Amino acid sequence: MQINKLQVTRNTTFRNSAFTKHGMLINYNLEPEVNKLLQKTFLMLSKKILTGINDLREHGLIINEPNIGKDVFDYKPLSNVIKAKSSMQLNIRNNHDLVDGDEQLIPIPAVHMDFELEARQEQALKNTNMDLSMFRANIEMNIRRVLEKLEDMLFNGDSTIKYGGNQLYGYTTSPSAIQHELTGATVSSSSTNNGWNSATADYVKDITDMSKKLREKGRYGDKIVYIASDLVDKLENDYSKNKGTNTIKERIEAISGILAVKETSALENGTIVMVELDFNTVSWVNVQAPVTRSHEESMFSTHYKTYAIGAPIIKVDYDGVTGVVVGKPKP
């Protein structure tokens, strides 16, 4: 029997097939092309957006917990112990001093974005030989928003995420973060200059003072300085016409222990954050790296969800000392 061009076989649906003008049935699979686009988009955006999280990854400060049922992280701030004793005999005993700690359960939220591709939209992609340009905007925006939220949680936490009385804190919201008032800088009520007046600010002095505050707390590790976007142009200015052509940023990066000065859009205007990159200061708990998955909600639509599961752990010792300094202008 001759098959009419409008007939389809029993195991073939409209969602995974298309008819040519000659009536031939051609099956397409959209998923591989979408996966290629997802991978390319994620790599591109993660380099731009995940400034702080990438630094933690590069310094081995990621804790992998590959189980989506992991919704809290058990963290114990540890106390110091007494100093070691020196003597000429090994049989002399020191005090039996034990590390002490209080258990804290840090919530680990899921960050997610969704969009839906209706059957005719999906068919249009197939009809154009997998031209995903019309699909790219939704893919990129979903991934971008998830990555931005992850980076924002590292710097600012999330006051809506709580578990057992414990809130999710970031660098700037941690109650134990050391506070520093930026020298000669005040928040301007004017809308000009992004509401930031820094004509008399001395950023090099601020950074040395912030570093000193960490050393006074026994924090001697390497540090990275994060700056708000509105400070980038200011730190690219010449440090001093009388002392060479180095910029303020280059002068700061020449200070002992400062690895880099980096911009992040996660900080409020005028804010500077100095972080000791040490396991006793901060970790990122990674339950699920950003991923996009799809499922058919009906024969007429496909649902796409981009999500990640993770949280920052801003650590303090038993005495409330942390390796984070937050610099802000005078109110």
3-state SS, residue 312:
strand
- What is the C-alpha to C-alpha distance for residues 297 and 103, in angstroms, rounded to an integer? 42
Instruction: Please report, for residues 22, 37, 115, the alpha-carbon distance to residue 130 in angstroms, rounded to integers and kept in the order given.
Output: 20, 11, 19
- pLDDT, tens only, 41-54: 888 899 899 999 99
Pairing of the two strands 258-263 and 223-227: parallel
Question: How far, in whole angstroms, is CA 94 from its chain's centroid?
Answer: 44
Mean pLDDT of all residues belonging to the chain: 80
Q: What is the DSSP string of 24-69?
A: -EEE---HHHHHHHHHHHHHHHHHHH-HHHHHHHHTT-EEE---TT
Q: Is the pLDDT of residue 4 over 70?
A: no
pLDDT digits (tens, 9 = 90+) for 80-110: 666 777 877 777 777 666 666 677 889 999 9
Confidence of residue 25 (pLDDT cuts 50, 70, 90): very low
In tens, the pLDDT along 27-44 reads: 445 567 777 777 888 888
Give the pLDDT band of residue 77 (cuts 50, 70, 90): confident
The pLDDT assigned to 264 comes to 96
Give the pLDDT score at 43.
86
Residue ranges and CATH numbers for the domains of the chain are: 14-78+101-167+286-314 (3.30.2400.30), 176-282+317-330 (3.30.2320.10)
Query: Residue 302: is its pLDDT beyond 60?
Result: yes
pLDDT digits (tens, 9 = 90+) for 174-203: 999 999 999 866 665 444 444 445 556 788
Tell me which residue of 243, 210, 241, 213 sits closest to 225, measured CA to CA.
210
Q: pTM for this one?
A: 0.81
Query: Which whole-number Å values give the CA distances from 264 to 48, 89, 157, 260, in the listed order?
Result: 9, 55, 15, 13
What are 42's two structure tokens? 């994620």
CA distance 29 to 105: 44
